[in-house]
Structure 1
Amino acid sequence: MYQPKIKRYQKEFEYSYAFGAYPVFDLLKQYPDKVYKVLLSKYGLGSDGIKEVEGICKEKNIYIEVSDRLIQKIAVKENTYAVGVFKKYELNILENENHIVLVNPSNMGNLGTVVRTMLGFGLKDLAIIRPGADIFDPLVIRATMGAIFNIRFEYFNSIEEYLERFPKQNIYTFMLKGSKSINEVKFVKPYSLIHGNESKGLDDSYINFGQSVYIPHSKEIDSLNLSVATSISIWEASKEN
């Protein structure tokens, strides 16, 4: 079987890395056919998490290599005891499901946190409007704590392309100039919760798409962090269930 060269991740690679025992375990459970191999550190051998990884590798006949040298070569954090090396894959988000839509997200940590939060509330479809952070970057994958392997995600070249694909979605755009407070909005399924990027948010044109919404907060701050705002919108929408 082809084995990619182990070196620091670059966006143009056709493969990526999952760091940490539990993200690797989720990768192995959901996409065993995409895994080239698993790297283990000798310092983690014998721990419960690593035993689980070893068990599923044996079950799925996935090659394990114990090599601290290779892990240190690519790790983004110290004390990394497991790395899954896997082929990138493409997915399509589904119709008639609730969507999270991120317009030009740029921060890896925020993107990863959004993925983890949406899965925590049962949402599994994420649309990313280009340009946007690379969801396969190991920093994003680590921030999701493995949740990335349990959702569907898809990139779109524009919001218009997304809306054309999903004309039946009920659209809610979150912006400082929103016409309704989130406390006044009734979220109707299937809904799309649309958030802008960390520095600019959504521009004024988004007022024309569906229902614009603002999240009340103290005047002591200009705006909320993207992952925080998205989490609040997910929580409020989930209360309609």
Structure 2
Amino acid sequence: MPETRLRRYKKDAPHSYTFGVFPTLELLTHRPELALQVVIHPKGERNQGVEKIRRLCHQGEIPCSVQEKAFSRLGARDNDFALAVFAKEESRLDEQADHLLLYQPAGRGNLGTIMRTMLGFGLRDLAIIRPAADPFHPETVRASMGALFQLRLAQFDTFEAYRSRFDRPLTLLMTDGETSLPDADWPSPVTLVFGPEGAGLPPQFRAYGQTVRIPQSGAIDSLNLAIAVGVTLYQRHLA
């Protein structure tokens, strides 16, 4: 079968890619309706995960071909034995569920890790305030290990646009928050709000709700964003 001319990802394209067997399986298992095409690397034809991918493609009538050049052309790694083309689609957030809101996150790796961490602690609604890292970029999808396909995701141009849509309590994570994380209240539904790497949330966000700080030593200025989210979600899980 001749190779399909797939091109490197662009943010304004209507589709993106999963690189690797596991993210591709997550797509085909949880959001098969988004899958447009699957490509298998010749070196991976005997891989057990690839065999499962083939079965899922057959069940869902999703085009599946064996190609080699497409992997290097798209920027995949040497150990990526499968990739999928999927349609980018945002979702309607659940009004009754807790949300996690990221205000202008910059790092694709952090964003993907946060997606996977959310899923691990049972949180499935993610709001992102632009400008922000692209949640559909292949690097983000890889970092999420395909968790993207089990989340409801919506992007907003401003924080005010989100607030006008969802009238609910906010818990804002700030390095100088008034309440220590172990003492925080956890109403439900609630939105957990995190600022960007480095700068954190703007000072005026203090007026929007409960401000919470994560206790830490004075040896560092702040925790990595993905770590801060993980610590917070663990504390919420214990509450």
| Structure 2 length-normalised TM | 0.96
Shift of 1:4: 7.8
Query: CA offset at residue 5 of structure 1?
Result: 4.1
Q: Residues 34 and 86 of structure 2 are in contact (CA less than 8 Å); yes or no, is this contact kept in structure 1?
A: yes
Aligned residues of 1:17 and 1:84 also touching (Cα < 8 A): yes
For the pair 1:235 / 2:223, whether they are aligned, the reply is no
Is 1:31 equivalent to 2:46 in the alignment? no
C-alpha distance in 1, partners of 2:4/2:42?
Answer: 22
Q: Look up the match of 1:49.
A: 49
Correspondence list, 1:1-241, <5 A: 5-167=5-167, 169-240=168-239
Q: Which deviates the most, 18-27 or 96-105?
A: 18-27
Unpaired stretches in structure 2, ≥5 consecutive residues: none
**How many residues align structurally?**
237
| 8 Å contact from structure 1 (residues 76, 139) kept in 2 | no
Does the 8 A contact of 2:18 with 2:142 survive in 1? Answer: yes
Question: How far off is 1:75 after superposition?
Answer: 2.8
Contact 1:173 1:213 in 2 (8 A): yes
Distance 2:5 2:34 in 1: 16
CA separation in 2, counterparts of 1:221 and 1:78?
37
Amino acid at match of 1:28: L
Residue 47 of structure 1 and its aligned partner are, at CA, apart by 1.3
Unaligned regions of 5+ residues in structure 1, if any?
Answer: none
What is the percentage of aligned positions where both structures have the same residue?
36
- In structure 2, what is the Cα distance between the partners aligned to 1:4 and 1:72? 13
Corresponding letter in the other structure for 1:238: H
- Amino acid in structure 1 at the alignment position of 2:101: V
* Distance in 2 between residues matched to 1:5 and 1:178, nearest whole Å: 51
Q: Deviations over 1:30-85 (max 9, x none)?
A: 22222221010111111111111011011111111111111111134221100011
8 Å CA contact 2:90–2:152 kept in 1: the answer is no
C-alpha separation between the residues in 2 aligned to 1:161 and 1:130?
11
Deviations 1:112-133 (A, max 9, x none): 0000000011100000011111
Q: Which amino acid aligns with 1:192?
A: T
Report the secondary structure of 2:109's partner residue. helix
For residue 180 of structure 1, report the CA deviation from its aligned partner: 0.8
Superposition RMSD on alpha carbons, in Å? 1.3
